[in-house]
Amino acid sequence: MLYPVILCGGSGTRLWPLSRRSYPKQFVPLVGEETLFQASAKRLSGSETPGFAAPVVLTASDFRFIVTEQLQAIGIDPGAILIEPEGRNTAPAVLAATLHLHAQDPEAILLVAPSDHVVPDREAFHAAISRGLEAVAEGKLVTFGITPGHAETGYGYLELAARPDGSGGAIDLAQFVEKPDLAAAEQMLAAGNFLWNAGIFLFRAADILAAFRSHAPDLLAPVEAAVGEAEADLGFLRLAPGPWSEARDISLDYAVMERADNLAVVPFDGGWSDLGGWDAVWRAAGPDAAGVVTAGEAVAIDCADTLLRSDSERLEIVGIGLRNVMAIAMNDAVLVADMSRAQDVKQAVSALKAKGSLQATHFPKDHRPWGWFESLVVGSRFQVKRIHVHPGASLSLQSHFHRSEHWIVVSGTARVTVDDEVRLVTENQSVYVPLGAVHRMENPGKVPMVLIEVQTGSYVGEDDIIRYQDVYARGQGAKG
């Protein structure tokens, strides 16, 4: 059986301000209506593809409910969702998934893929997988190389032992090549035996375990313990944090693939992008005849080779006479840069972190298992939020040490608990929650419930919370 393994724990700083640590790019609809994660899950889902088992997902605790919500929205039931206690890079993550699956099926074959790639031609991708399975049957560890369409400096490369002959069959790998400068990228493009490294792998569980034993044996003990001591939690499998923290933070390429001598590469030219920068988003979106892409509330006048995107319904972005510019606007941040500097956006994130800006890491909307909220106004002793609660969802029973709250329902109906009183609050009605009161809000209806919350007090941080009951079994802390 072929088991897809989807990795979705990255932060994607090169797509700031849309992608941030608290809500990275894989959960955002960057190209089309579906998110990158949803598109990846459908491309690798047993319900969409005969012969594929249900996908196994590895993600962080903060994203676990986003994963289940987005999978539910497209009708996919995952095989397992493994929760990483902390990010340790791809080698420990892949090893954990391998150990989990090998225990269930010693003959398991794993297809490991990131969750933030765009692959428009699904049939061509599946045909490449079929060709890769032929090499896997011979004991090869297979990776997929993308036929380069231009001299790209944002990707690593795979040097093949021979030029592709057009058959699409697997070719032995000569070596991995780090991200090059432009001159080296142009030389590799001309040579014809270099492909972009897609970071997608196909192998038998037994073969990759043997590779770990040979090339990264120090990872086996901590990851085996983390999997063996994992705890079930509401359908998730939480890897044990103690042994997990002892695993090296290292990529699969560095830990195993660059050391192994049984690697083969399947060339793929059916269209692919990892959306590793706004220039890649511009290309994937399909520029018009002038090279212009607009998305959201955006207008381009006499522009060329330009990306204008607004992800705020309240913010209109207009470009006039722009050339080779990318401008991305959100409620709380705007990026304007020359298109050629797309790979330098991560420098903006570093600069914002250095000055302590929340915009560096925190997304305007904070997603929770019951829905989401966004801060509309924040002052020294107050905060105004818009809160969206899904039908049938419920916030935890909680209290606060430092703030009181005033709720005004603007859409739907809320069932509100304040200490011993429980009542329904409908549109245009409000309720006051005194400091220290034990309270909860629920949406008992069939439509989303939206309310405005006004917090006042000496401290309005999200970590001022004590949970007494929670249907989502979260612990204490801002997100639990």
- Residue range 370-409, pLDDT digits in tens: 999 998 888 889 999 999 999 999 999 999 999 999 999 9
Cβ-contact 22, 363 below 8 angstroms:
yes
How many angstroms separate the Cα of 423 from the Cα of each of 406, 413, 419, 430? 15, 10, 11, 11
Query: What's phi and psi for 127, nearest 5 deg?
Result: -65, -40
More confident call, 21 vs 239: 239
For CATH 3.90.550.10, the residue range(s) in the chain are 2-268
At residue 101 the predicted structure's pLDDT band, cuts being 50, 70 and 90, is: very high
Packing angle, helices 36-43 and 64-73, rounded to 10: 60
- Torsion over CA: 208, 255, 143, 66 (sign): positive
* Weakest mean pLDDT among 32-41, 92-101, 429-438: 32-41
Packing angle, helices 90-104 and 220-228, rounded to 10: 50
- Is residue 48 pLDDT above 60, yes or no? no
Distance of CA 265 to the CA centre of its chain: 26
Q: What is the predicted pLDDT for the residue at 273? A: 86
At residue 50 the predicted structure's pLDDT band, cuts being 50, 70 and 90, is: low
At residue 15 the predicted structure's pLDDT band, cuts being 50, 70 and 90, is: very high
Mean pLDDT, all residues of the chain: 91
Q: Where are the beta strands (DSSP E) in 241-345?
A: 263-268, 292-296, 298-301, 306-310, 317-320, 325-329, 334-338
Q: HSE on the CB side for 207, CA within 13 Å?
A: 22
Intra-chain end-to-end CA distance of the chain, in Å? 36
Helix segments in 311-394, DSSP class H? 345-354
384-387, Cβ contacts within 8 angstroms, sequence gap of 24 or more: 384/452, 384/453, 384/454, 384/455, 385/452, 385/453, 385/455, 386/450, 386/451, 386/452, 386/453, 387/450, 387/451, 387/452, 387/453
At residue 418 the predicted structure's pLDDT band, cuts being 50, 70 and 90, is: very high
Superfamily (CATH) of domain 2-268: Spore Coat Polysaccharide Biosynthesis Protein SpsA; Chain A (3.90.550.10)
- Which of the 8 DSSP states describes residue 341? G
Q: What is the predicted pLDDT for the residue at 288? A: 96
Q: What is the predicted pLDDT for the residue at 122? A: 86
Q: What is the largest CA-CA distance in the chain?
A: 75
Query: What's phi and psi for 166, nearest 5 deg?
Result: 95, -10
Residues in the chain: 480
**9-30: average pLDDT:** 85
**441-447: average pLDDT:** 95
CB atoms within 10 A of CB 429: 15
Q: What is the predicted pLDDT for the residue at 46? A: 63
- Is residue 292 pLDDT above 80, yes or no? yes
- Specify whether domain 365-469 bears CATH 2.60.120.10: yes
- Torsion over CA: 78, 83, 87, 93 (sign): negative
Take residue 160 and report the two structure tokens written for it. 């093949």
- Is residue 16 pLDDT above 80, yes or no? yes
- Torsion over CA: 455, 457, 462, 466 (sign): negative
Percentage with pLDDT > 90 across the chain: 67
- Is residue 214 pLDDT above 90, yes or no? yes
Q: What is the predicted pLDDT for the residue at 237? A: 93
Q: pLDDT digit string (tens) for 400-411? A: 999 999 999 999
Rounded CA gap, 467 and 480, in Å? Answer: 9
Q: What is the predicted pLDDT for the residue at 52? A: 86
Burial-class residue 38 by CB neighbours within 10 Å (0-12, 13-18, 19+). Answer: buried
CB atoms within 10 A of CB 69: 15
Q: pLDDT digit string (tens) for 141-194? A: 999 999 998 888 888 999 998 888 877 788 898 999 999 999 999 998 888 899
- Is residue 202 pLDDT above 70, yes or no? yes
For CATH 2.60.120.10, the residue range(s) in the chain are 365-469
Cβ-contact 381, 373 below 8 angstroms:
no
Exposure string over 148-162, b if 16+ CB within 10 A, otherwise e: beebbebbebbbbee
Reference 114, options 7, 253, 21; nearest CA is 7
At residue 478 the predicted structure's pLDDT band, cuts being 50, 70 and 90, is: low
Rounded CA gap, 258 and 272, in Å? Answer: 23
- Torsion over CA: 158, 163, 165, 171 (sign): negative
Q: What is the predicted pLDDT for the residue at 384? A: 95
Reference 104, options 200, 3, 213, 241; nearest CA is 3
Q: What is the predicted pLDDT for the residue at 234? A: 80
Rounded CA gap, 260 and 176, in Å? Answer: 11
Q: What is the predicted pLDDT for the residue at 47? A: 55
More confident call, 405 vs 62: 405
CB atoms within 10 A of CB 66: 22
Q: pLDDT digit string (tens) for 298-336? A: 999 999 999 999 988 889 999 999 999 999 999 889 999
* Weakest mean pLDDT among 9-13, 108-112, 381-385, 466-470: 9-13
Q: What is the predicted pLDDT for the residue at 207? A: 97
Rounded CA gap, 405 and 383, in Å? Answer: 10
